[in-house]
Amino acid sequence: MMRLLSFSCTACGTEGQRFSVLGCLERRPKTICSHCGSTIESGLSELSYVAFIFYANGLTLVLALPVIFSFVGGQWISATALTLLYLLLLTMPAIIIHARSVVVQGR
């Protein structure tokens, strides 16, 4: 699982690089290689990003009402669980698709 979420620096080959969780919701997240200091950027295609935005919107539509009803109904455990599930289902695919399409921008 960790191998899916992280990637090797394309400049020096150091493994275990990853984008920040919130950064992955952006079109082109960037990170700095912990070993050589190169700027690593996601080269995700426009089409893949649009597909992800559709997925994210669909996910929001599906989970928004159950989350709202759980909060309104005072069912805190299911509200928390649904919120965590939403964040997980939203960020995991983003991290994985960005980690699969990294490019190095330079130092």
- Residue ranges that bind Zn ion, judged by CB under 5 A: 9, 11-12, 14, 33, 35-36, 38
Cβ-contact 88, 59 below 8 angstroms:
no
Contact status, residue 19 vs residue 42, Cβ threshold 8 Å? yes
Q: Is the CB of 33 or the CB of 97 nearer to Zn ion?
A: 33
The owner of tokens 């159950």 is 66
Helices H, strands E: what count in the chain?
Answer: 3, 3
Min dist. Cβ of residue 39 to Zn ion (A): 10
Least CB distance to Zn ion at residue 6 (A): 13
Nearer to Zn ion, 39 or 83 (CB): 39
Least gap, CB of 38 to Zn ion (angstroms):
5
DSSP-derived secondary structure for 38-57: -EEEE---HHHHHHHHHHHH
* Cβ closest to Zn ion, residue 39 vs residue 75: 39
Q: Which residue in the block uniquely carries the two structure tokens 């992800």? A: 52
Comparing CB distances to Zn ion, the nearer of 31 and 38 is 38
Smallest gap from residue 19 Cβ to Zn ion (A):
14
